[in-house]
Structure 1
Amino acid sequence: MTTSIPILPNIIENLGSGIIIIDKSDNITFINSIAEKLLGLKSKDVLFKPTNHIFSEKIILDILSSVKKTEEALNYKIAITKPKRRNLTLNVAPIFDSSEKYNGTVIMLINSFREKPIKFQLLKQNQKATIGTLTSWVAHEVRNPLTSMNLHLDLLKEEINENSQNTSKEIVELIETLEQEVERLNNNLNEFLNFGVISSSKKKLYNLNEVVKSIIELVQPEAEMARVDVVLKLDESIPKILIDVAQMRLMILNLIKNSIQAMPDGGKLEIKTEKKNNKVNLKIKDNGFGIPKEDLKNIFDFLYTKKKDGTGLGLTISKKIVKEHEGDIFAKSQVNKGSIFTVSLPII
């Protein structure tokens, strides 16, 4: 007999931030204890009531209205005066149902006086344990049904192929949509699980150029479909460095995919390696839509994303991998001109 663990409420409480969830009618459906303390109220007094019962500041109501209208996340620093004056970081993101229709909004309130610069962070002393527990739970409770769904979809496709003359076009399209959604969920799940298990204990001396070349072989078809020209400027004289090859592949793949996705109308992707000041540097440059200045400082933060289908984990994972290798990663970007991601790794 399996005992169900109420893990989600525990994690929401341990985030160290105020969490409020409102439905599509702008009524409050959830508020955690930290939000209660920050706003000086009790959940029993505000649950299932309109948001103006907890927020009197017009700017906050305008932000909530904007997120609902545009279905895009927003991040602001605000000041509230009740129950006392506080500076808060307000992160607001839309919630979508299984049909990808707007279904509500989640609000995260971070006490700016206590926070380290805008981080979606778990309480430091509990972070590794909480993520490890959550990863194990997700791996079991989500991976298993997902595998089952894949198997049943394969069986259903076989049945349809055997009776293709009696199968309508609509049914075939529905099966294809299901396959795409299962694949998307599987990709998101893999990204989350990668975040929980990253470890660079399998390091060996290896040439970074070889890692880059292997990744290019993998993404070349995707780049061609996106009409993105890939240009390699690899310094063949760079020395081997101590890396976990599998994790380095994952990091570079994340960065390259991000760059390709930033060029929906096609463009140029330049990948460069060089030796500089006892470091091997990797630069990934695109001429895509760029990142706004106000978002650039947050892009490596846990769960931070402006993509509708994003998880907010890809760049967090990339940074974690680089830090495991005692390296640095940073980004420069200009809106409508493109971005440059630079990874700097030590030569041992």
Structure 2
Amino acid sequence: MWTQKLSWKLKVWPRTVAMIVMLVCACLLTNYYCGRLNSTVYAHFFYLPIVIASIWWRRKGVAVAGFLSVMLLLGHFMLDSKGNITSDLVKVLMFLTVSVVVAELSEMAWRTEHEREVCHKKHEELLAEVVEEGNRTLVLSMEQLMFGMAITNIDGTIQFVNKAWATLHHMPKENFLGKHLGAFSEKEKLAEQISRLLEDTLKTGLRECEILDYGKSGKEFAVSVTSKLLRNDAEAPLGFMVSLCDITEQKHVEKKTKKINAELENFAHTVSHDLKGPLTAIGVAASTLDHLVNRHGTAKNRGEIHEMSNILGRNIDKASDLVDNILDLAKVGQVPKNAKPVNVSDVVSEILKEKAMVIAEKEIELKVDKNLGKISANPTHVYQLFSNLVDNAIAHNDNREPEIKILRLEEESPEIHRYLVRDNGASIPQESLDKIFDPFHSESSDGTGLGLSIVSRIVAQYDGDIRYFYDGGCCFEFTLRDINDS
């Protein structure tokens, strides 16, 4: 309050002193003209304090004009001036007129400015209320989040943490405020991870990673961290918003899944070995039987035995393919390993060479993009993926002029690769569309029903998606994301 009074005094006193000086000068001029020169006062100087007073004090400033008018008339009569009284009366009238006009204009200007200030003040108060309410809503929302949230300044000092953050670390919120993001634990490893995280965020604007965090007891747990760089309106770095999500349970599930996948692969290898042994023996026996019949059989029974031998051979091949596909299906359920840059054009070219005989036999026209790009993946997975889709296109294309297209489609992200494998055969029946990627589902009795299931699982392992649609031909469009082997 005292500062406002002091400010008002500093603003008013200089004006008052200046006005007193000007009025004293006016008195001296009046005395000089009327008393010594005995003539009409040269009063043009009077307009200066009159106008200034009307501007400074608005309508109250008219009092200055009144004071000077009275002083002018009193000087004329009391000092026995021989000047023309009419001239002084005209001057008085002009003083009052100028003072009133300037005072009214100043009053109007002051009211306009005052209303503008009042409106501006109300706008600021309303804006402050909105901001305050928004801040309360934001804080309340952050407090109710299921994952930990912290906001720091640009050097990593914590300004706010929500309830979930404190609960995650089994410490009260006050233990974090004012401390560096990585300093509330004695573990040097955490401080190093946090420092590296903030440095990367400052460079890229957004950073996601997994780190080992520590609670009050020092027990470590895995968390997924997302760090976002906060900027002001001028795009200058302001601080960081960091979120934590406990993924300990997820890591346990992943560990169990790896164990199950390893057991499944071992089981598949065992089944493959145990089944392929008898199948191989049956195949050898069938071949021997066929050879013996050719040498010793009679003309009457030779044809029947040949037919039975052929049936036996076909079913052995089919059973062997089924075992191989089951083994492939077990393998692709695991996380991709041994990823490296794979030239997709080379893989597709190899697949088409392997199937050249059946392609030539069915007179299939091939249309393959010259550049199918490179993808960071396990080469075997890329081979299995395209091989099964090409097999499917060959097997189910009933068009008289069969055609297969393998195309690379445009994708915005360089880490994602989109492809299309299309044939011009008949559409898959509507009732089967929900089952085409299920294991052992096949539209014909010749297939194992595992090809598209293997394709679907490979795509899923590379964080991609696959869809079937019909545009006059059967189309399988899918995406694959580059895998970082580390």
TM-score by length of structure 2 reads 0.41
Q: Which runs of 5+ in 1 are unaligned?
A: 1-123
Please show how residues 275-294 of structure 1 align to structure 2 within 5 Å.
Answer: 275-277=410-412, 278=414, 279-294=416-431
Kindly indicate whether residue 315 of structure 2 is the aligned counterpart of residue 181 of structure 1.
yes
1:44-59 aligned at under 5 Å gives the runs none
Q: What corresponds to 2:88 in structure 1?
A: none
- Aligned partner of residue 310 in structure 1, secondary structure: coil
1-structure distance, mates of 2:382, 2:440 = 21
> Which ranges of structure 2 fall in alignment gaps of 5 or more residues?
1-256
How many angstroms apart in 2 are the aligned matches of 1:134 and 1:252? 26
Q: Is 1:299 matched up with 2:436? A: yes
Please tell me the root mean square deviation across aligned C-alpha atoms, in Å: 2.9
Q: Distance in 2 between matches of 1:271 and 1:164?
A: 50
Q: What residue is the counterpart of 1:246 in the other structure?
A: 380
Rate the CA distance shift 1:235–1:180 in 2: closer, same or farther, 3 A. same
- Residue equivalent to 1:206: 342
Shift of 1:125: 12
Q: Give the distance between the partners of 1:312 and 1:130, measured in 2 at CA.
A: 23
Structure of higher CA gyration radius:
2
Distance 1:294 1:128 in 2: 32
Give the corresponding residue for 1:324.
461
Counterpart position of 2:280: 147
Q: Deviations over 1:61-104 (max 9, x none)?
A: xxxxxxxxxxxxxxxxxxxxxxxxxxxxxxxxxxxxxxxxxxxx
Report 1:1-348 matches (<5 A): 128=261, 131-132=264-265, 135-136=268-269, 138-163=271-296, 168-198=302-332, 199=334, 200-235=336-371, 238=373, 240-266=374-400, 267-277=402-412, 278=414, 279-333=416-470, 337-347=472-482
Residue 269 of structure 1, CA deviation? 0.9
The structural deviation recorded for 1:137 is 5.1
TM-fit CA distance, 1:156: 2.5
Aligned length in residues? 221
Against the structure 1 CA distance between its residues 254 and 270, is the aligned structure 2 distance closer, same or farther, given a 3 Å change threshold?
A: same
Q: Is the 8 A contact 2:293 2:302 kept in 1?
A: no
Identity percentage of aligned residues: 24
SS class of match (2:355): helix
C-alpha contact 1:327 1:345 (8 A) present in aligned 2: yes
**d(CA) in 1 for partners of 2:269, 2:350:** 30
For 1:164-222, what per-residue CA distance to the aligned partner results, in whole angstroms no more than 9, with x for missing partners? 77672222222222211211111122111211123531321111111111111112211
Higher helix share: 2
Moved more, 313-322 or 124-133: 124-133
Q: Distance in 1 between matches of 2:262 and 2:381?
A: 21
Offset of residue 296 of structure 1 = 2.0
- Alignment-derived partner of residue 42 in structure 1: none
Q: How much has 1:317 moved relative to structure 2?
A: 0.8
Structure scoring higher RCO (CA < 8 A, sep ≥ 6) equals: 1
Measured after TM superposition, the shift of residue 308 of structure 1 is 2.7
Q: CA deviation at 1:265?
A: 4.3
TM-score computed with the length of structure 1 as normaliser: 0.56
Q: Output the CA distance in 2 between the equivalents of 1:190 and 1:290.
A: 28
Is contact 1:235–1:274 with CA below 8 Å preserved after alignment?
Answer: no
Instruction: Name the SS for the 1:168 alignment partner.
Output: helix
Specify whether residues 333 and 128 from structure 1 end up closer, same or farther in structure 2 by C-alpha distance, changes over 3 A only.
Answer: farther
Could you tell me which amino acid in structure 2 is paired with residue 296 of structure 1? L
